[in-house]
Every structure is written in C-alpha cells, then in structure tokens.
Structure 1
C-alpha cells in the first residue's frame, strides 16, 4: 500500500504543476488586459468576483477555483456541481460519462407556476445538464471508480425517475465491471412534479444497493450542502461509509420546519455535518482539499 500511496503523491504533484502553468497563463492574460487603453477595455465579465455567503469575503472566481471552491478566509465550502467535483477527483480530469442520454418526462401533465414539461425545456436550454444526477467512471490515483454526482442547479437536485434509473444502471455497471461505487449527494429531496414516480425511487435505489452488497462491492455515500428529504431517507444514509463535507446541512425536514413543528429552539449547529458526526450518523468529515486522497485510501482499503 505504501508504494501505491507514493505513486499517488507523484501523480498529484504532476497535476499541481499543470494547474500552476494554467494559473501563470491566466495572470498573463490579466496583465495584457491592464496594458490596454481605457477605450479598448470591456465591461467586467460576470462571475469575475465571488462573495462568500458565510463571511462575505470577496475573492476572484479564478482564485476560488484554484482553492477548490473553499473560502480562503473562513474555510466555507461553496456549493459546486458535478463538473467541478469530477475535475477535483478524477486523475488528469479525465472520465467517461455514462447514461447521459436519459431525460425526464412529464408523465402526469403536472403544472404549478408553469408546466413541468416547460420547466424541463427551460433548464435543458440554459444548462448542459440532462437531469439532476450525472454518472461517470474514471481513475483516482490509478484506481477505477464509478462516481455519481448530483447537480443542485437542476430543480434543486431533486430525486426523480431519471435519477433513480441512472443510480440503478450505475450499480449494474459496478457489478459487471467489479468497481466501487460512490455517490455525492446535494438535493432538496423528492421531485414533487413526478409524485409517486419520484417516491418509487426510494425503494428502487435502496433495493439496488442490496445487490451491490451481495456482489461484495463497496458503496461510499458523501453528503454535501444541502442533503434533505428523499435522499437522506434512502441511499444517502445507506453507505458502507457515510461521509460529509464540513458544515453541510443534512437531514430529512429542514431546521425551520422542525422548529415550527416542535415549538422549541434547536441545539447549536443542529443538522450540520459536525452535529451528525457527534451523534453517530456519519463516519467522518472530509475537507475538499483532502477528498481525492481520502477516496484513494478508501478504495485501497476496500480492495485489500
């Protein structure tokens, strides 16, 4: 195992050197922009600066990305999507996306503020996402793993029929290729526009995990901010290891709903990952900067 960890460190050093080269190229572009005349300058592009929602510290988006979207002042973990997690975790940011041809359908003709079908069309037009979960296979320190990750940008990362199907096909892929499975959750819960079709996924995904267990393959569940509702009531809490990012809100109903229901003040830090770790719901909390190495270590342990 020591030899494999040394190889991992060498690969990580190579990736950091590439990132530093990219950073230097970025600084050259900024310098070039400074040298232009006022008439040649354009308006500041959107997204050049980012303010931390926790401490209000303002930093450049480029620096925040380099710091893995963690606030350099207060260490707050900003919410990120599947693309960013894949870049952080997979070797050389290389991976193959699976089951990206599946799309949601308005089975019920559901309408709230707008028809569900129109809501889906708007999201597909504005983003590159096909649904609230992406599944990819790639290497972490040379060890192959299947990684499913949710995107909160797609209807709050809600659990619908497509997420359940992708999750299930990912389990089948792991069994066929004898690979470990990891899911990064970020969700508001079940997708109300799909009603019972959404709720059926709780049982479906839980049943698929029993097949993964029977095959003797590991399942790692990582909970990020926020993870609520049907996710925490099903596969979110069923990992061989349940881990989380620092400060993540995790639960079934939200703290405001619980407080209004029981008419009592909640304990400090209630439903934060640190609170859940203290009360035995999590195995450990992992900082985003250590995430890749921790996954590598876990895969080694499960394979030994």
Structure 2
C-alpha cells in the first residue's frame, strides 16, 4: 500500500508541474502530503523504503519544492531526514544529473551532499543517525538581507498614478502589498517572495468566507487584483523614543529590487490561464492611494 502511495506521488510530481507552480494548496495536499505520510509510515521499514521505484522523480520533486517554496522548508526537513538514512535514496540522488544540492534547504545541503557521496562508496559504512544542523539565529537571518512585506486583503483599491492630471488606476477584490528591503537583500529572494504571495492563502473569493490564494481563485476564473507599493518605513527600529531607519537598503539598490519584485509577480502570474491584475506604483512616484476592505485582514512577513 505504501509503495503505491509513493508511486502515485512520483507520477503526480511529474505530471502536475503547472498545478504545483500555481496552486500550492493542491500540490502540497495531493503530492507532498502523500509523499511525506508514506515516508513516515516506512521509517521503520527500511527495506521497503529502499525498494521503492522512481526515486529520481521523487528527488526532482523535492528539489523543485525546496527551491520554489522556501516557506515549506520546515516540512521538507522531516522527509529529507528520513531519506538521508537510506543509502539507496542517497545513491539515487547522487546519480541523477537533474538534481542539484543547491536547490535543497541551505542548512541541509552539505550534510545531504556528504551522505550522497558516501552512498556512492561501496566500502562506506552506513551511519545510524542524523544530527540536525543548528538553525541560524534571527539576528544572522536579518544580517543576510531580508524583504519586509505587509499584505492586506481588499475589496478594491486605487492608486494615483499622475498627480498633475489627477489620473487614478484601480483594482477590484484582491490584495494590497507594501514591500521594503533591508541591507544585504539580494535578488535571489525576490522570486520566492513573489510566488509565496500568489500561492499563500491570503485572499478571498467573492462568494466564500474561506481564505484562498490568488492563484487558486484565478484558476477557477475569479477576478483577483494586486496593488503593490514600495514602503521604506517597513524597515525601521525603535531606539528610546526615536524611530531609526539604519537597516534600510540604499535607494538605488532598493529601486532595482522593487522593480525585480514587480517583474517576478508578473512573471509568475503570467503562467496562469487567468492571471490576476497587477498594479504597481512607481518607486519614485506618488504614494497616494485609497483602499476599501471588509475588515483589517492584514499580515506581515519577513522573507
């Protein structure tokens, strides 16, 4: 039974690439969840786990999941810990040229690579256990450069795009997104952040009270809009009674990352047959906007 579950998961990973990229809920529930449950059930049946077929498809799926969904790394860790105990699975990873160690969670890459290389050595003795690496501190995480995002659900929102002509552009039901960047932030964090905003359950449809992702709603043919604005004040610190902005990324670099963030949103959204409307304010443009919502449904994220 477990072998059949693993097989279905492998085929689903191969055949549902579009669903995986655009509907995080579907991919996680129908593919990764089954895969994870099967691995957990077989953790004490090493011979059965080793004998499962299509390991290459499973590894490619895990690499893709880790690379494109960094927000799911904690869930991926459990599966990787189990597979690392299997010489057969490590050997399959090492032999597949389409799998790249750098696509896996950064804190596990070196250990997984070491285990995979060891699996290719016929004289190497299998290791009995695995000691998870110590997680980086929040201070170290911040020092590496982050993207600060605030998201609010809206019924409609409009932006002043030409102050002299009093011209406004607007979106309907969807999300308002404010974004800022800290020192050290780099473009490699932009695409995962954009993909997360489109696939996380942050929005809501016109006829339901359930939270759903923009991608899922658009896939059903429902309208969704996203209004994006740069907001440097998201990166701030309170010292005594003063508000400091010492960790903000320089204006020129922040401008480049903001443009890259908007392009990433547009690029990921374009993969859908019914993409959301994306309205982005100019980095140096007016920040005048009006927003209507059914309640202050707001989230703050640091990527």
Q: TM-score, normalised by structure 1?
A: 0.27
Of structures 1 and 2, the one with the larger relative CO (CA 8 A, separation 6+) is: 2
Larger Rg: 2
TM-score when normalising by structure 2 = 0.27
